[in-house]
């Protein structure tokens, strides 16, 4: 079920991927169900065979995205030990997710959040809990080691905001690549090692 987004053979997967691309490009409101259907190669009415309504597509998309990114994050974290490196890994992972190197673009989660019904918002907020717990754990370790100047919860919020908002100015083929961007962002919050 979780893998729909990556299943190239499922109709739902095709719809989710097409929708993701369009939502990212034009936003939820400006994307019509006809647009999505056309990209999938079916008629608009057929969408409703798979999803009860347009919003459900967005909701499921976000849901799968979070699960996907969380899984990737867990994997990346396993390969490093130092909390500082772990933070950089987390940031890098989140940036890669935003820029669709994982899934289809986590930025949708912020830019289109308002298009979700309150019910969907609540549901997805729940799913995010695990994901956020991972961040808090790393940030708390850094704080204990005196390597964080900011309160851990605030640090997480600031980092998320900074990362998500890169969407509005960052060009992947510009002066910094994603790894460098990640290093700069995580570095901003950590006390310099030789201090």
Partner DNA sequence: TATGAATGAGAATTCATTCAT
Partner DNA sequence: TATGAATGAATTCTCATTCAT
Footprint on this chain of a copy of itself (rule: CB under 8 A): 26-27, 29-30, 110-111, 113-114, 149-151, 154-155, 157-166, 168-170, 176, 181, 184-185, 187-189, 191-192, 195
- Residue 69 near residue 61, CB atoms below 8 Å: no
Site membership for DNA, residue 27 (CB under 7 A): no
82: left (phi over 0), alpha (psi -120 to 50) or beta: beta
| Cα 127 from chain centre | 12
From the CB of 101, what's the least distance to a copy of itself, in Å? 19
The listed partner (DNA, a copy of itself, none) that binds 150, CB under 5 to 8 Å by sort, is a copy of itself
- Binding segment for DNA (CB under 7 A), chosen from 16-24, 37-45, 86-94, 107-115, is 37-45
| Cα 36 from chain centre | 21
Site membership for DNA, residue 32 (CB under 7 A): yes
From the CB of 15, what's the least distance to a copy of itself, in Å? 20
The listed partner (a copy of itself, DNA, none) that binds 75, CB under 5 to 8 Å by sort, is none
The listed partner (a copy of itself, DNA, none) that binds 176, CB under 5 to 8 Å by sort, is a copy of itself
The Cα 195–Cα 36 span in angstroms is: 53
Which of 91, 78, 71 has its CA nearest to residue 5?
71
String of contacts with DNA for each residue 55-74, x by CB under 7 A? x-------------------
Cα–Cα distances in Å, from 184 out to 23, 76, 141, 157? 29, 18, 20, 16
Cα–Cα distances in Å, from 82 out to 23, 77, 87, 129, 185? 37, 10, 9, 23, 17
| Cα 64 from chain centre | 10
Site membership for DNA, residue 33 (CB under 7 A): yes
Site membership for DNA, residue 117 (CB under 7 A): no
From the CB of 57, what's the least distance to DNA, in Å? 8
The listed partner (a copy of itself, DNA, none) that binds 6, CB under 5 to 8 Å by sort, is none
- Residue 112 near residue 61, CB atoms below 8 Å: no
By the criterion CB under 7 A, which residues form the site for DNA? 11, 30-34, 42-50, 52-55
């Amino acid at each position: 079920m979780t893998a729909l987004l990556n299943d190239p053979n499922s109709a739902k997967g095709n719809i989710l991927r097409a929708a993701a691309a369009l939502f990212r490009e034009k936003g939820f409101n400006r994307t019509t169900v006809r647009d999505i259907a056309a990209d999938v190669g079916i008629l608009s009415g057929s969408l409703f065979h798979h999803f009860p309504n347009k919003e459900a597509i967005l909701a499921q998309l976000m849901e799968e995205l979070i699960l996907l990114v969380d899984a990737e994050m867990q994997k990346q974290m396993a390969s490093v030990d130092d909390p500082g490196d772990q933070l950089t890994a987390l940031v890098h992972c989140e940036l890669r997710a935003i820029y669709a190197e994982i899934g289809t673009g986590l930025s949708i989660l912020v830019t289109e959040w308002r298009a979700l019904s309150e019910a969907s918002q609540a549901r997805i907020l729940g799913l995010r809990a695990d994901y956020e717990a991972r961040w808090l754990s790393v940030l708390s370790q850094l704080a204990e080691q005196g390597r964080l100047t900011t309160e851990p919860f605030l640090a997480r919020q600031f980092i998320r905001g900074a990362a998500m908002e890169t969407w509005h100015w960052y060009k992947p083929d510009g002066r910094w690549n994603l790894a460098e961007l990640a290093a700069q962002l995580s570095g901003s919050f950590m006390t310099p090692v030789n201090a």
